[in-house]
A and B are shown apart, each in its own frame.
Chain A
Amino acid sequence: MPHYVKVKLKYIVLSALSVVTISLSPAASRASTSYYNAFGRKQGLNTVVGDFLNNVLADSRIKAYFTNANIPALHAALVTQFCMLEGGPCEFNENMKTVHQNLGVTDAAFNALAEDLQKSMVYHNIPLAAQNNLLAKLAPMEKGIVTK
């Protein structure tokens, strides 16, 4: 391949990648009630969170963190939080950092929790885009939640 063609090709590939990157950036801030509806609104979230917590309490990797937890209150808080993150009509204002500061949460525990949530969402056939939107909203909270 002549050198100038190769150089040109490099720019074409670079431009194409820039377009992909730029077109993806709005996706990060996308929020619409369609995700909330995809979960089956409040009732659907109740079911998903219920099974999520069942998974967590049966998960030997992390169940020790919840020994002293008020599970019904946690259930209600998670439904409200997920409702807000998925664009539903809910207000959730608890500070994730404050809530977790004394728990000594590790990255491994954070990941195990996310896995248990994913398992519940898959089990209840929540549409993939709605699942992934919730995970994308929760992932950056690692910085505040993980202290160890």
Chain B
Amino acid sequence: MTDAPSTIAERSADMLARATPTTIAVRVRGLSDRAIAWLFITPTIALLLAINIFPLIWAVYLSFTNFRANRPNAEVEGVGLRNYQRVLNDPDIWIAMQTTAHFVFWTILLQMIIGFALAYLIDRKFRGHAFWTTVILIPMMLSPAVVGNFWRFLYQPQIGLFNYIVSFFTGIPPSSFEMLGSVTLAPWAIIIVDTWMWAPYVMLICLAGLRSIPDYIYEAAEVDRASAWRQFWSITVPMALPFIMLAVLFRGIENFKMFDMVMLLTGGGPGSTTEVASITLKREAFESWLTGRSSAFAIILFVAVFGLANIYVKALNKVKQR
């Protein structure tokens, strides 16, 4: 460190140091500001390394070996890229990826439509809108374990409320279909629950977007004779778009790794119709105990999500800068 502080951060640290009461100044004498800064952030960095970075690097290492966690004493051999080759050539894994894509697409579409519609209605600022906002947010605040078990009861063919309501409106006998047991219905059962739980989250983000649009823009448009329809498409949507895109990003990343809800509701069944990537991964890792191979799979998933998210964030920034 030189004597003349150069950056603003250093300069303000310098000012702070000078303003520090003498007792503390004496106690830390001999330490530069830079050293004190490091002292403060070291615990965080250490924790991050221990619980995030190290396991990641360890998984990368394991993905190149034939290590099996249920045989810790067996000799570990390097296998090069064979794990990756196997994963990418495994048809079951590609089916799981397809199932995941299907889930991600439909949950995002439904959550965006419902979430945005709710936000648009709540933003009308009618009487008691704050109360309704809270009510709508309740599903999102529940634990996924509670939600999963709760919906298992709702979907129960004989006593479940869901089947009863469907039969009430359509006349189809309630015990004639099983939401969680049918090959065609089970994926939709999960999509419905995920949408019920997370549409409020999308609503919250969209609401922030809608609230950021100043009233006078709408007033100007009204004086300019723009219809409500035109105001919606030429003001509301473009100005809320960065927020909507942000919601898509958050929900997309979350649902790409969707595990808890599927595990609780169907466990991947019936057959493997709802077996998303994370369920396959769990099976490979903790049922087949193919630790090396499942590590390779995990790395592939990570790179895929990371890559997609990056491309998406670039697009988001472009929209924001307009």
Partners in one complex: no
Residues of A within 8 A of B (CB): none
